[in-house]
Amino acid sequence: MKKRVLILANNAVGLYNFRFELICELFKQGLEVHFAVPETIEDKKVQLIIDAGAKYLHTPLNRRGTNPFEDLKLIMQYKKVMKTINPDVVLTFTIKPNIYGTYVASKFNKPVIMNVTGIGSSLVSGNLKKVVKNLYKHACEKADIVFFENEDNRCFFIHNKIVNYKKTVLLPGAGVNINKYRPVEKRYKSDKIKFLFIGRIMKEKGIEEYLEAANNITKKYTNTEFQILGPFEEKQYETLILKNKNSNIKYLGVSDDVRNEIKEIDCIVHPSYHEGMSNVLLEGAAMGKPLIASNIPGCKEIIEDGHNGYLFQVKSVKSLEEKLEKFINLNDHAKELMGKNSRNKVLKEFDRKIVIDKYIKAINTVLKEGNKNESI
C-alpha cells in the first residue's frame, strides 16, 4: 500500500506556483498525495494539481483573519481531514497550517514537516505577538522537522526559544524552476526603462513606497515606466492605483503566467517589509533581470549589491529613489551584465531541485521509525 502524504497550505496559487515540482516528485517516489486548500474545486490551480494526480480536500481558511471562531472551524476541518486521509506524513506551509495543522496532526500521532515560509508582522509586533509566538512554540515542539527559507528567520526562532535548533533545516526559499524561468528576448521594443512591481497589493509589500518613488522618478526621468502586477489585497489601494493620473505608472492587472510580463521589463523592484525568500526576485533573477529590493532577510540573500542589482533601506522612499536613479544611469552593457549575474546566481544557489531533494530526504527520514533525528 502506498504511503500517504498530506499537504496543508493556505492557498492553491502558492502551492501550484512554488510546490508543484515537489508534488510531481512525490508521485515519482511512489507516494500518494493529498492536498488541502481554501479554494474550491473550480479553481484553476486546484484543477491543475488534481490533473497531476493529487487528491483534493477543501478547507476554508482566512489567512489574514484573527477571529478565534474561524480558527476553531479550521481546526475542526483539519481533524476531519486527518481522520479521512490517515496520512503517513504531513507537510505544512505558512502560519495557520503550520500552527493548527501541526496541532491536529500531533493528536493523531502523525509526523509533521513544517515550512516557515516567512515571519509575518504578527510574530514580531502587534497585540498578538505573544500569542502567536506561544502557538508557534507549541507547534515546533510537535513537528519533526522545521524548514526555514532564510537564516535570519531560523535564528529568530532559535533565539526566542520557539524551536530546538536540532530540528531546523535551511532551504534556499522555495527555489526556482530554472528551466521554466529563463532569459527570453523582449517581444516589444521600447525606449523606456521599465520597472515592475509584482505581488499582492498591500502596505507590507511596500506599494506606498513604490508609488511615491515612481511619481518622483517619472517627473525627473520621462523615459521611465513603473508597472504594477498583482491582486488588490487591501482595497484602499485600488482607487489610488486605478485612478492614478500619471501615464508612466501602469496597473497590469493579474497574470496567469508572470513570465509574459517579466520578459518585457528592465528591472524588478521589490520594496517588501519582510519575506521568507522572495519568489518574485528568484523568478526575475532566473529570467536574467536586474533586481532592486529592500535590504531585508529573504531579499539580501538573492541580491549582491552592485553585482546583480541594488539593496535599499526598507520603507525609505529616498533610499529607493537613489537606487532607481543609479540603475537608470547605468549604460546598456552594465544593465545587461547585471541581468546575467542574476541568472548565474540562481543557477548556483537557488535551483528548485535543491529544495526538492531536501524534502524527499526529510520525508524518507520521518517515515523510518526511530530515525527522525537523522541529519537532513
Tens place of pLDDT per residue across the chain (376 aa): 899 999 999 999 999 999 999 999 999 999 999 999 999 999 999 999 999 999 999 998 876 666 777 889 999 999 999 999 999 999 999 999 999 999 999 999 999 999 999 887 666 666 678 888 999 999 999 999 999 999 999 999 999 999 999 999 999 999 999 999 999 999 988 899 999 999 999 999 999 999 999 999 999 999 999 999 999 999 999 999 999 999 999 999 999 899 999 999 999 999 999 998 999 999 999 999 999 999 999 999 999 999 999 999 999 999 999 999 999 999 999 999 999 999 999 999 999 999 999 999 999 999 985 444 444 5
Within 8 A by CB and 6+ apart from 134, the residues are: none
Q: If 0-12 CB within 10 Å is exposed, 13-18 middle and 19+ buried, where does residue 245 land?
A: exposed
Residues 333 and 307 in one domain: yes
Q: Is 247 exposed, middle or buried (0-12, 13-18, 19+ CB in 10 A)?
A: exposed
Instruction: Say if 372 falls within a structural domain.
Output: no
Q: Which helix (H) or strand (E) is 36 found in, with range?
A: strand 32-37
Establish if 181 belongs to a structural domain: no
Cell of 222: 520621462
In a domain, residue 359? The reply is yes
Q: Are residues 288 and 355 in the same domain?
A: no
Element of type H or E holding 224: strand 224-229
**The domain that contains 264 carries what CATH number?**
3.40.50.2000
Specify the number of domains making up the chain: 2
Q: Are residues 152 and 284 in the same domain?
A: no
Whether 154 and 281 map to the same domain: the answer is no
Predicted local confidence at residue 337, as pLDDT: 98
Residues 161 and 211 in one domain: no
Name the grid cell of 319.
533610499
Same domain for 30 and 58? yes
Which three cell numbers, joined as nine digits, stand for 17? 506556483
Same domain flag for 53 and 116: yes
Q: Which residues pair with 113 in a beta bridge?
A: 91, 145
Q: Give the Cα-Cα-Cα angle 298, 319, 157 (nearest 5 degrees).
A: 25
Residue 249 inside a domain? The answer is yes
Give the closest residue to 270 by CA, choosing from 291, 301, 247, 241.
291
pLDDT score of 373: 42
Which strands sit side by side in the sheet containing 224-229, from one edge to the other? Answer: 249-251, 224-229, 193-198, 267-270, 291-294, 309-312
- 8, 93 contact by CB (below 8 A): yes
- Is the same domain home to 115 and 245? no
Q: 302 lies in which domain range?
A: 193-349
Alpha-carbon distance of 364 to 356, in angstroms, equals 12
The answer to the question of residue 182 being in a domain is: no
Q: Do 215 and 330 lie in a common domain?
A: yes
* Domain membership flag for residue 271: yes
> What one-character DSSP code corresponds to residue 54?
P
Q: How far apart are CA 321 and CA 315, in angstroms?
A: 11
Verify that 92 and 155 share a domain, yes or no: yes
Residue 374 located in a structural domain: no
Q: Are residues 8 and 157 in the same domain?
A: yes
Same domain, 169 and 228: no
In this prediction, residue 374 carries a pLDDT of 44
Nearest C-alpha neighbor of 113 from the set 36, 7, 2, 1: 7
Residue 370's pLDDT is 43
